[in-house]
Homo-oligomer: A and B are copies of this chain.
Amino acid sequence: MKRSELKPKIANAVITAAGYGTRMGFDKLFTPLGESGIPLLAVTLRAFENCALIRGVVVVTRSERIADTNAIRKAYGLSKITHILTGGETRSESVQTGLYALAADTDIAVIHDGARPLVTPKLIANVILDASVHGAAIAAIPVSDTVKHVMNGSVKRTVPRKTLYRAQTPQAFEPGLIKAALHSASENDTALTDDAEAAEILGFPVKITEGERANIKITYPEDLIFAEAYLERLGNAR
């Protein structure tokens, strides 16, 4: 079935905004992004507000940021936000908290890093539609760098990169699948680098949706420079 032939399902999103931004030295999510003056998290949330396939949004943050997140909701008219919740000790716990707050009729649960503000409504929709067909889908882009396997500070070998992709978010799943998968990973103390990995461990095939180069996770100061410049270029087009 083609994407265009699908009857859209009810998709709800969990946005994780509970990190500390330790590598940045300040809480990037609530910091105004460049000249726009718009907090990074608001830019992220706006993309979900503007995605026609998203019905509701649950934001998971730190307890001391609940009020700030609520202020963002009001200031930017983010009408799709249904819950603003306190996250857990780990990212995975925060995601699970969000998943259990989703409406019971959710067909597709979308998980997204609050720190990826340059995601577009189109990419969110594409991931949802792929997950509607396959049960699980993640945004990802091909690795374009030369990748080296390194041991003790020296190159062991160059890794063939043709089959390698860099995972992004959004990642979208049937809610029962991702809840079971994350629960199982927690039970087994499995360290996950992303949510899809929990589904992969259960042997569930996760579909790759072509991601967007600009959809970076804001982690290092250089990322912030890019995001600010990118948003300035887009201007009011966004």
Contacts and interface: CB of A to CB of B under 8 A. Distances in A.
Interface stretch (A55-63, A77-85, A101-109, A144-152): A144-152
Interface string A43-83: 00000000000000000000000000000000000000000
Q: Give the size range of A's interface with the partner.
A: 35 or more
A155 B228 CA distance: 32
Interface in A164-183: 164-167
B220 A229 contact: no
Q: Which secondary structure dominates chain A's binding surface? A: mixed
B229 A225 contact: yes
A179 to B, nearest CB: 19
A93 interface: no
Interface string A177-205: 00000000000000001101100100001
A145 B163 contact: no
A208 B149 CA distance: 11
Copies in the complex: 2
B194 A158 contact: yes
Nearest to A225: B229
B208 A158 contact: no
A120 to B, nearest CB: 13
B147 A200 contact: no
Contacts of A197: 146, 158
A226 interface: yes
Contacts of A156: 163
Given A146-B166, A230-B222, A196 B155 contact: yes
A233 B226 CA distance: 11
B205 A154 contact: yes
A161 interface: yes
A222 B230 CA distance: 8
A205 B220 CA distance: 30
A143 interface: yes
A137 to B, nearest CB: 9
